[in-house]
A and B are shown apart, each in its own frame.
Chain A
Amino acid sequence: MPVDGWAVDLAEAAGRLSRTLENAAVISGTDGAALMLLDEHADLRAVGASSGVGMELEVLQQSNRAGPAFDCLVTGAPVAVDELSERAPVGAVLSLPVRAYGRMAGALNLYRHAPTHWRPDHIAAGQRLADVVAVFLETLARPAHRNASHADGGAEGDNGPSAG
């Protein structure tokens, strides 16, 4: 592992993100949730999805360097597409900006297989969900305070994170 000091290792982080996207779909009442995030070079990349078509939707956007997630990043506002073209892997998508520590980090994409009219309340709820996903990402990105903590009197046992 090239990077140490993460709260959880990469495999565990991936598992947690995968479950979080599945839960995001249930919470939002959509067919799936997908996440595109900016990397260190400020490129928007497909990071994960709750289902295969969601990943497809993202990889397409990543290779075209265009799509609702890109528009969302440019405008900093939600982008709702009620009906995507027939060639698209999903019928409708709602892209919501994800801000971590107040800075744009990427977009959460909620999708449905069928065309959908995204109402203002869908969009408002989606944005709050994106905010909670941001809290999750901030937590995931935090360094573990293993060395930094001046553990008084050995109160902290060494029974911390195990990747199991």
Chain B
Amino acid sequence: MHIDTEALQDSLQRIRSAPQETDLTKAMGRIIAAVNALFDYDGAGVMFVDDAGALRYVASSDEIGRLLEEAQLAAGQGPCVDTYLHNRVVSSKDVHSDARWQELPRHLDRRIQAVAGAPIRLGGGPVGTLNVYRSTAQEWDTSDTEALMAYTALVGEILATAVAARDHSVLAGQLQYALDYRVVIERAIGFLMGRDGLDAGEAFQRLRTEARSQRRRVADLAAELLGDPTTPPSPPAAAPGGAR
């Protein structure tokens, strides 16, 4: 490691002396805005998992990027959903003719053709995805995916630092919650896989659907499934002014 920690500390001290009024949500806007200039794609978006265990739209570089996120949320499937579930890069040359997501084209804008998703990780597991698209059908090569992975790793460092700083944005609260209850959710997924012969994606979907129909959080239901009587407390940021 080639870092002069003393110089680092002095310079951080100087940065800290300036007025600070940023939070993670604003930072995410800057992070996503950079993607278009950094990579030669047509647009990008980010989604993060919320306390209900569902991916949620957070930011995009353009309107079409937003449509990509929303189409996947509406269809409940797509490359970015798989990216999150399998914790790895998932790409498609043309999402309109990809047999893996047959429901997706009905929801999807024609200007989105080639799509790639990379997991954004925190504490070793996925908490969201960075998604990029091209408006022409095109294969993705390894230099594309390596650069995307490096970018999401950089984003992960920013997220982890913000969470450690107790950033008071809703996003940071959701991420802290995801970190705190990842283990219990993963164990419940494993339990359902074993009990009902499901794969990980199906088990996660089952857990989410069940939680939604009971109007409960995934972590609560997961704890109950595992026979844990203690239910997790509310995510901190869900009650910013005590209004809940």
A38 CB–B CB distance under 8 Å: yes
Q: Name which residue of chain B comes closest to A48, CB basis.
A: B3
Residue B190 is within 8 A (CB to CB) of chain A in the complex = no
Q: How far is the CA of A14 from the CA of B3 in the complex (A)?
A: 6
Q: List, in ascending order, chain B residues with CB within 8 A of A50's CB.
A: 2
User: CB of B183 within 8 A of chain A?
Assistant: no
> Does B196 sit at the interface, judged by CB under 8 A?
no
Q: How far is the CB of B194 from chain A (nearest CB, A)?
A: 29
**Given known contacts A131-B34, A152-B239, A157 and B165 CB-to-CB distance under 8 angstroms:** no
Residue interface mask B185-210, A partner, CB < 8 A = 1 = 00000000000000000000000000
Q: How far is A13 from B22 in the complex, measured between Cα atoms in Å?
A: 19
B31-60 interface bits toward A, Cβ cutoff 8 Å, 1 = contact, 0 = none? 101100111000000000000000000000
Within 8 Å CB of B16, what residues of A?
141-143
What are 8 contact pairs spanning A and B, CB under 8 A?
Answer: A7-B164, A27-B147, A27-B151, A42-B14, A45-B10, A46-B7, A127-B37, A145-B165
Give the chain A neighbours of B1 by CB distance below 8 A.
14-15, 18
Contact A136–B161 (Cβ < 8 Å): yes
Which residues of A approach B to under 8 Å, CB–CB?
3, 6-8, 10-11, 13-20, 22-24, 26-29, 37-40, 42, 45-52, 54-55, 100-103, 105-106, 124-125, 127-129, 131-132, 135-146, 149, 151-152, 154-157, 159-161
Measured in the bound complex, the distance between the Cα atoms of B8 and A8 in whole Å is 13
Contact with A along B11-29 (1 / 0, CB 8 A): 1111111111010100100
How distant is the Cα of A28 from the Cα of B180 in the complex, in angstroms?
34
**What are the 5 closest A-B residue pairs judged by CB atoms, nearest first?**
A7-B165, A37-B11, A26-B150, A39-B10, A161-B164
What residues of B have a CB within 8 angstroms of the CB of A39 in the complex? 7, 10-11, 13-14
Stretch at the interface among B82-90, B102-110, B152-160: B152-160
CA distance A26 to B40 in the complex (A): 15
A54 touches B2 (CB 8 A): yes
A-B contact count (CB 8 A): 187
Query: Cβ of B11 and Cβ of A128 under 8 Å apart?
Result: no
Q: Is the interface of B mostly helix, strand, loop or mixed?
A: helix
Asked if A47 and B11 make an inter-chain contact with CB atoms under 8 angstroms apart, the answer reads yes
Most buried by B among A14, A23, A42, A48: A23
Please indicate which of the listed interface residues B33, B37, B235 has the most CB atoms of chain A within 10 Å of its own CB.
Answer: B37
CA distance A101 to B10 in the complex (A): 16
Given B8, B14, B147, B164, which contacts A10 in the complex, CB threshold below 8 Å?
A: B8
Contacts of B98 in A (CB 8 A): none
CB-CB under 8 A for A149 and B8, given A7-B161, A49-B2, A131-B34: no
Closest-by-CB residue of B relative to A55 is B2
Contact B38 A137, beta carbon cutoff 8 Å: no
Task: From B12, B13, B27, name the one whose CB has the most chain A CB atoms within 10 angstroms.
Answer: B12
* Contact A101–B164 (Cβ < 8 Å): no
Given the complex, which residues of B lie within 8 Å of A7, measured CB to CB?
161-162, 164-166
What distance in Å separates the Cβ of B15 from its nearest Cβ neighbour in chain A?
4
Chain B positions within 8 Å of A137 at CB level: 11-12, 15
Tell me the bound Cα distance from A58 to B177 in angstroms. Answer: 40
